A and B are shown apart, each in its own frame.
Chain A
Amino acid sequence: MAECVKVCTANFGKGAQDIEVYKKLGGYANISERLFNMSQFELIDYVQRSNLRGRGGAGFPTGMKWSFVPRNSGKPVYIVVNADEGEGGTFKDHFLMMEDPHRLIEGLIIAAWALGSRAAYIYCRGEFLPCIESINKALNQAYAAGYLGENIMGTKFCFDIFVHRGAGAYICGEETALINSLEGQKGQPRLKPPFPAVSGAWKSPTCVNNVETIMALPWILQHDPSEYAKMGTPRAGGTKVFCISGDVKNPGVYEAPLGTPMMTMINEYAGGIVGGNLKAVLPGGSSCAPLNAGECAVATMDYECLASMKTMFGSGAMIVINDTHNMAELLNVLGNFYSHESCGQCTPCREGTGLLHRILNQIVEGKGHDGDVELMQSLSGGFGGVTICPLSISLGGPVSSYTAKFREDFDELIAKNPDHAKPRVQENYRPGIFW
């Protein structure tokens, strides 16, 4: 395992929650004449050259996202930090915010300078109260040290950061749902266009960035952008904070360059598989298609390779599954999750995820029938591209891929039903008095 440059996790375990320690470790060095002499355009160009891509899951180039924010629209520009980390298997932001809150603040000041933003909101999920405490403590220190507020370091620049505590909704990780939630509404995704960069929070230009994206900025600014770009792949620069969980010896958060082979991540970083042999890996969180052992052997952890294998890089959350698990049971867990977290807006997602979960439940409980799998595949086909946000596909995709790649697991459970081959006779179930 080659020692890699630590961009986001450099200060882990060093007590950087305190501003003095953080400054000793080189923190807030960017908040200096050099930044304040840069124009917005220069800074955005700088970030664009670093090839930084959004770390939340979609992987959109950050510099390009910033360049979409209209200038001089007469409306304030908001930066919203997406710390609503709720995807199964993802837990990097939790640790990043706990261990190094000042880096997030420093990154936000840089982003605010680039966008001319006056106020930023850190939308932190409700379960992460310890993180919020950590950030609030850091904010108090940063205000006291003059890094935030009005006339920062004697310039005309003014900037405030507020923490917004969410209250338990996975869907608020979607940027427009997050904005709705910030506005005090239900966290339901909005119709697009308009995109948030043009009309987001309170109808103003809004830039929603992941915690990790913002936390990479201080390092990028301290170094040459090409140095960051060359660490990754040609289309996505830099290192990535990977979350490895599941059946591995040392699950946890590891920073590695993009393009690291998957088996290196599992064997060298996470200490290898425990409890059995490798069966499957979910490379980008719970909503992506699994890779089986053969595919894992050749996969590298970057956007392009995983996309070519018909799965996705997502937030870099690897979930390793050994061969003692039945994939149908795991799919049932996902069915439970996504049907619980559907915002209830679009019909296919609202009713369909629940239905898929109920069918999966039947299979897992040993009451499955032949044809249930085909029905599920057909139903999940009905999700494709028809809903406002991709939550329905987050379940529909796994249903298709799990059943395609691990069909024998489903058949095994269905075979437990002695009557599985008998067709279901509808006449037996004539509607009753209230049907």
Chain B
Amino acid sequence: MSNYYNMPKLPTENSPKVEIFVDDKPVMVPGDTNLLEALKAVGIETPHVCYHPYLPVSGNCRQCLVEQEGPRGRMLVIACYTPVSPGMKIYTPASSARVKNARKATQEFMLVNHPLDCPICDKAGECTLQENYMEAGQNESRMRPEYGKNYHGNPEHQFIDAKGQLRGGKHVDLGPRVLLDEERCVQCDRCVRFMRSIAGSEQLQLAGRADHTYITTFPGEKLDHEYDLCVTDVCPVGAMTAKYFRFQKRVWLLSHTPTVSMDDSLGANIWLDYADGHIYRVMPRCNPVVNRSWLSNTSRLAFQEFDKNRLPSMEVHTPAFGNGKIAIVAGGTCTLEDLAAIRMLKEKLGDRAEIFGGSLLKVDAPDGIAKSGDPVANRAGMKLLGFADVADFMKRASEFETLVTVNADLFGEDPAAAGVLEKINCRVAITPFDDATAKKATIAMGVRHWSEVQGTMVNSLNMLQKLNACPVCPDENLWAAYQVVSYMAGSKFEAAADAFKKAGEYAPVLAGLTYDAIKSTGKLLEGGEA
């Protein structure tokens, strides 16, 4: 609530370094940020609940207390709201018993009215309260049942349980995608701040006051926003849970693959959380310049279709393309490696082949959060490798006798416009899905989905980003698209790195780079702007 226009300043690589004294030891920290981030930069973790680097500072959890030497002696201050100033003297629990006790006390207060249902809580394992407790707390409980608990909850949801305890709402249906457990809420108001300041639609609010505060939407209205699942990410406890993931998997059984969402040309950085050969959920992966910590529902929930309606693997032979002109159309989810392979195939076929890229879907405006609105994820990569726009191809479709589509569902995207393509005799579809184009194709070859391949893409900010393969491919024999196409061209790329090297031959800006050197947060290409 408080000062909600105070966005925290985060350190960057160019932050000036200043000297401060932490526990009387001189430390060089970034000088243009808050204390919490500065301490993090030198490896001192400060427990916090309400602070989030991409949300306005609210300073209400009081968990990140440190002591600062000031004109009136040592004072407790919250690290998340204290700017770094050169020469400041800071004391952490490592040297100050007062800080240790204050954090312990805050921890205790936070747990006073928090239910002890960790064993059945979906957030267990990645809950901030649990982490803080293990790191700073581990106190024996001094609470006694006679004192009672004052569970937070909407009066209209309150009930009295079998033990005579007044309880709050346990499964409050906030909206189509999010469920709320009012008792577990610790009133950090991250979700409120997210909806107000990031999503720009104040649908959530803390109602009531004191220890009767509860999160709610306006009565009769639902939490419904393209980014509403982000509230489950920012929720430090198990209060906000995503309906799609509830009770699907304990989080410590999940493995994580860092990759990039190919739904949109911003290329939101994501984690694919998988186990037992399935993706269970998709979480945003923090990238300060791309999507910060946000992810749209569309990109997040797309994984539910990844393993459905797939094409089987197929033995690939070196094809013989007839005599007429050949069009090779790359879809939006093609990685740079796929594009390099296509370009290689074109070079082999000579002048009668032309390459196009893009989709027939309409391009929206960027929403400023985690979507650029362009469904062609690798459009920048296509430009680099000399692909013409697919609209050009659609105009001249009648010139071609053979059409090869790679990850491009032209018939599915715009069935009316794609009608003209049916006149092309030979249509080869190389795609993961048994989609409309594959169904109408002369030959359809299954390949790996983008979540299952190594690769790279260039996003709308001209950043080169890396995709990693999540081991959830339904068929071990499936090849990646770049392997299929390069095999057609006569020399199969075994690894993405080989294909990337090839891409460097076509696009000088990529030439100096090696696949393995690309960082997980991507690399800004020359001539681009972050």
Contacts and interface: CB of A to CB of B under 8 A. Distances in A.
Give yes or no for direct A-B contact (beta carbon below 8 Å). yes
Interface of A: 169, 176, 180, 185-186, 188-191, 203, 339-348, 350-355, 358-359, 362, 367, 375, 378-379, 381-382, 384-388, 424, 426, 429, 431-435
B3 A190 contact: yes
Interface string B272-300: 00000000000000000000000000000
A189 B2 contact: yes
Nearest to A428: B145
A429 B144 contact: yes
Contacts of B147: 355, 358-359, 362
A352 B110 CA distance: 9
Given A388-B2, A434-B165, A348 B105 contact: yes
B110 A351 contact: yes
B76 interface: yes
Contacts of A342: 209-211
Given A354-B113, A386-B65, A347 B146 contact: no
B206 A347 contact: no
Interface residues of B, number: 52
B60 interface: yes
Contact of A339 (B62, B109, B210): B210
Most B CB contacts (10 A, CB to CB) among A343, A345, A433 go to A345
A246 B81 CA distance: 42
Nearest to B105: A382
A350 B211 contact: yes
B520 interface: no
B106 to A, nearest CB: 6
B320 interface: no
Most B CB contacts (10 A, CB to CB) among A185, A191, A433 go to A191
Contacts of A378: 142
B229 interface: no
B109 A352 contact: yes
B6 A347 contact: no
Nearest to B206: A344
A347 B116 contact: no
Contacts of A381: 101, 105
A271 B142 CA distance: 47
A290 B362 CA distance: 72
Interface string B322-360: 000000000000000000000000000000000000000
A386 B62 contact: yes
A345 B1 contact: yes
A429 B145 contact: yes
Interface of B: 1-3, 5-6, 49, 57-63, 65, 75-76, 81, 101-102, 105-106, 108-110, 112-113, 115-117, 141-148, 150, 161-163, 165, 167, 186-187, 206, 208-213
Contacts of B167: 434
A433 B164 CA distance: 12
B163 A388 contact: no
B329 to A, nearest CB: 53
Given A169-B209, A347-B109, A435 B117 contact: yes
Contacts of A431: 116
Contacts of B208: 344
Nearest to B214: A344
Nearest to B63: A347
A358 B148 contact: yes
A351 B49 CA distance: 15
A210 B142 CA distance: 41
A344 B210 contact: yes
Q: 9 tightest A-B contacts by CB?
A: A382-B105, A354-B211, A342-B210, A344-B213, A429-B145, A344-B209, A190-B2, A351-B112, A351-B109
Most A CB contacts (10 A, CB to CB) among B5, B57, B150 go to B150
A191 B209 contact: no
A278 B206 CA distance: 45
Contacts of A435: 115-117, 163, 165
A188 B212 CA distance: 15
A166 to B, nearest CB: 14
Most A CB contacts (10 A, CB to CB) among B61, B110, B211 go to B211
Contacts of B212: 344
Contact of B106 (A353, A386, A424): A386
Given A190-B2, A429-B144, A351 B209 contact: no
